[in-house]
Structures are given as C-alpha cells and as structure tokens.
Amino acid sequence: MKIAVMAGDGIGPEIMAEAVKVIDVLRRDGLKIETESALVGGAAYDAHGHPLPPATLKLAQEADAVLFGSVGGPQYDTLARELRPEKAILGLRKECDFFANLRPATVFPELAEASSLKSEIVAGLDLMIIRELTGDIYFGEPRSVTGEKGNRVGINTMHYTEAQIRRIIHVGFKTARQRNKRLCSIDKMNVLEAMQLWRDIAIEIAPEYPDVKLEHMLVDNAAMQLVRNPKHFDVMVCGNMFGDILSDEASMLTGSIGMLPSASLDANGKGLYEPIHGSAPDIAGKGAANPLAQILSLAMMMRYTFNLPEAATRIENAVRKTLGSGLRTGDIARKGEKVCTTTAMGDAVVANL
C-alpha cells in the first residue's frame, strides 16, 4: 500500500504528524504500508512557485491513495487564482478523476452536546453523503451573463450525462452495501429534466443491488429531513450542487468541524482523503488543532481504498475510546472543560490503538 502524504499549510503539518503516528502503529502491527511525502498548496508555492508542482502530481498518480492535510492561508489570498493553494485540490481531483466525494456525518455519543440540534436527535448519527464532483450546473454549458445593465441575463446549465450519473449511483449502492444497506437518491425530478434522468437511472440500476433498499427524495424535502430526523438516512447520493449544500448542512449536525473526514474517489477506489476543514490559520502553530478528522480520514482510506474494514474500525474505536476518556481539544471542549494539545490527542489515540 503506497500512501502519498501531503500535509499542506497552516495546521496541516501538525495534524498530519498525528495521523502518521497512527500509520506507524499499523505498520508495526503488520500492514505493509509505504509512505512518501510531498509539498502541496502554499508550502509548494513557496518552494517551487506552484501549488501543485509536477513531482507532487506524479506522486499522487503513482500512489494508491493520498492522505491530504489542508491548504491555504491569508498570505496567498492576493495571488493569481491559478496559483492559489486551493487550486491544488481541484488539480488533483481533475488529474486523478476523483469524481465521487464521500462525506460522513458521524456524531460520537460523547460529543452529541456539541450539535446545535437537540442531542437526542443527533446522538449516534451515522450518515454518509455522496456528492458527484465533475458534472452539474457548476460545469454545464452554456454559462454567461449577457445584455446591457438593466436587462442582463445570467445563465447556467444543469448538465449530466448518463455515464456520469451511472457511475455515481453505483458508488452510492456499493457504499450502502458496506454500511446499513439503505440508499436515498436525491433529485428534483418534479421540475428538472436532468433530474428526471437521474431518477430513471437510479431505478434502472437498483435491480443490480437487490440487497440495498433504494429510496428517492426531492432535495427540498431532504434538506428538511436532515434537521428533522437525520437518523432516517444511511447513504445519500446527490448531484454536485445538491451534494455541496446538503453535505455542509449535514456536517453542522455534528457540531464539530475538527472531527469530520472525507474522501474523493476514482472509479477504481483510489482516493484522496482529507479533513473537511481548512488550514485554520487562526490556530496554526499553537498545538491547538484537533487531529481527529485527519486520523479518521486515514480510517476511511483503510475502508474504501484498501478494503480493510477491520483496520478502519480499529482506528475509529481508538478515537471513540479517546473521546470517552474525556480528552478534548479546544474546538470540542465545553465551557470550563480542560483542553489538551494536538499531540496529546494523537498520543492518546495511538495508546488506545
């Protein structure tokens, strides 16, 4: 198993160091893991003048999976758009054809109080949102603003090919199969032709997965159900725009941005795994960052790229045990609770492994 390690900027290197400790334990216990590191984002721009230098891209292409930290920082905000650190993620997604974004929203019972919803609604929540990344209104043509001031027209086009829909729906079914075998396909077929095609294809594919229960839901209803009864869902599969919005809504259910991992996968299960949060420049270098999203990203990698669910569960259980022992970084501590450092949290996970 070859893992490309790309820590990036801000808190990236601090939280990555903790995930690497976890890799070391897995390796010690017999998994044959090779790692190689590369600069990415602002760090790569500083050293090589580009956020995604050729050597970094080559490593991503050669590796079986990429463990990515976070990129960005205020010092890069005035650079030309194509040189900004965030371009590195878009470049990796495009060049490696990572078309399926998996974002779990899991609420560890120990942290149910951190949600803005009542704890009984979210305690034990464990849902997965799958978002298509290459199609939809973000890429569709035509797109333009035309006309004179006072009469301007803005146009974007929802565009999906059958092949794009098919491959993401398959990811939805396969993911549901590895979980609780329920898939909810999100669309807006009542008003959009492209979404009627989405639903038709989901229905067509369903007989290939007789063990998975397929349900359809209009996106407006899904947005409502996510706050009303989020535990209704196991896996949700969405187009690019609806997935963008619903996955952010779902992440707020958990109450902590420092806890949530994500994956972007290609058709063969190769993937880029990263926390959903950014580089947190406000706390970088202070030893205050929560490393758990990074560590849980590694667990996702074990499950979805390397097909090692036992290794994934082992890491997740170590995280759970660590939270159970009362350890809290600043982002998940309640008022008055003692706060630990990034390193202390990582060390505790390693001890619990």
Cα–Cα distance measured from residue 309 to residue 298, given in angstroms and rounded to the nearest whole number:
12
And the tokens for 70? 């976070």
Cβ pair 133, 169 in contact under 8 A = no
Beta bridge pairs of residue 128: 104, 235
Of 46, 64, 138, 181, which residue is the catalytic one?
138
Q: Which is nearer to ligand NAD, 85 or 172 (CB)?
A: 85
CB of 6 to ligand NAD, least distance (A): 10
Instruction: Give the Cβ contact number of residue 36 at 10 Å.
Output: 12
Burial of residue 163 (number of CB atoms within 10 Å: 0-12, 13-18, 19+): exposed
CB of 214 to ligand NAD, least distance (A): 31
Block residue for tokens 């898939």: 183
Of 24, 29, 220, 282, which residue is the catalytic one?
220
Q: Which is nearer to ligand NAD, 294 or 305 (CB)?
A: 294
Burial of residue 151 (number of CB atoms within 10 Å: 0-12, 13-18, 19+): exposed
Of 9, 188, 234, 270, which residue is the catalytic one?
188
Cβ pair 105, 312 in contact under 8 A = no
Q: Which residues bind ligand NAD (CB under 6 A)?
A: 11, 15, 70-73, 86, 89, 257-258, 274, 277-283, 289-290, 293, 329, 331
Cβ pair 293, 277 in contact under 8 A = yes
Single-letter amino acid, residue 41: G
Cα–Cα distance measured from residue 106 to residue 115, given in angstroms and rounded to the nearest whole number:
11
CB of 76 to ligand NAD, least distance (A): 7
CB of 288 to ligand NAD, least distance (A): 7
* Residue 211 is a catalytic residue: no
Q: Which is nearer to ligand NAD, 219 or 292 (CB)?
A: 292
185, 204, 209, 205: which is closest to 195 by C-alpha?
185
Q: Which is nearer to ligand NAD, 76 or 173 (CB)?
A: 76
Of 64, 97, 200, 244, which residue is the catalytic one?
244
Instruction: Give the Cβ contact number of residue 128 at 10 Å.
Output: 25
CB of 282 to ligand NAD, least distance (A): 5
* Residue 126 is a catalytic residue: no
Cβ pair 107, 76 in contact under 8 A = no
* Residue 282 is a catalytic residue: no
* Nearest-10 Cα torsion for 249, 255, 260, 263: -10
- Give phi and psi for 320, each to the nearest 5: -60, -45
Count how many residues are written for the chain: 353
* Residue 136 is a catalytic residue: no
CB of 46 to ligand NAD, least distance (A): 14
* Residue 220 is a catalytic residue: yes
Q: Which is nearer to ligand NAD, 168 or 288 (CB)?
A: 288
Q: Which is nearer to ligand NAD, 63 or 280 (CB)?
A: 280
Q: Which residues are marked as active site?
A: 138, 188, 220, 244, 248
